[in-house]
Amino acid sequence: MDCRAHYTLNASTVWSDTLNIVVEGLFKNQAVIKINNQQRILKVGKTSPEGVKLISATSRSAVLEIDGVQKKYLLGSHIGSNYTPPVAQPVVSLWPTNGMYITTGSVNGYSVDFLVDTGASAIALNAATAKRLDLDYLKGQKVGVKTASGIEVAYQVTLDKVQIGDIKLHNIRAMVLDGPEPERALLGMTFLGQLDMYQTGRRMDLKKKF
């Protein structure tokens, strides 16, 4: 089949960090695309050796998938000089120890051992941990919090940076209990609520939502 009859002089061009893509011709369910100076004739559902997939095509437009992102390209339109794939969000995988998910992270650059606790409304620290982190927690708002031991006095603080693996969040609300509990810092929902959490067998995956 001679596809040259369907070519247009007004080709669309899209660039990625590694690919130079020129849409040279469009027609129903097929497209002629030059990728890094190599001409490819793609049918719907097919992927080029360079990883460009044709999702749909008409004589006027095509939908291409590049690095998992789908975009519509109009015949003859200039797509732009730069294509930047979305940055993949880091994933932290945890495995249980005695039925609990425990991980080492950091608060404001200081190492902290955390217990993942979706039942805790906020990150919770004991007084000794707060002092080690150089938190002036007694200046925070004084509140009462319900614990397994009853109602305890706590102080609201804001943590500049909390990090677990490659996941970093800033300005996270936390509670400091003025006593020895919790023995291990609780990684509560002020942090976990900004993540997607997936359970695969015994493994828990944490991923930043955006």
CATH number for position 203: 2.40.70.10
Q: Cα 106 vs. chain centroid, distance in angstroms?
A: 19
Where does a domain end: 43, 74, 105? 74
Q: Are 104 and 147 within one domain?
A: yes
pTM for the model stands at 0.60
d(CA 105, CA 107): 7
pLDDT score of 15: 42
What pLDDT was estimated at residue 13? 46
Asked if residue 168 and residue 110 are part of one domain, the reply reads yes
Whether 79 is covered by a domain: the verdict is no
* 53 belongs to a structural domain: yes
pLDDT tens digit sequence for 73-84: 766 544 433 445
Q: Tokens representing 87?
A: 């940055």
**Count of domains observed in the chain:** 2
155 shares a domain with 57: no
E strand segments, the chain: 7-15, 20-27, 30-35, 38-43, 52-57, 61-66, 69-74, 91-94, 102-107, 110-116, 123-126, 142-147, 150-164, 167-177, 185-187, 195-200, 203-208
Domain boundaries, position 121: 91-208
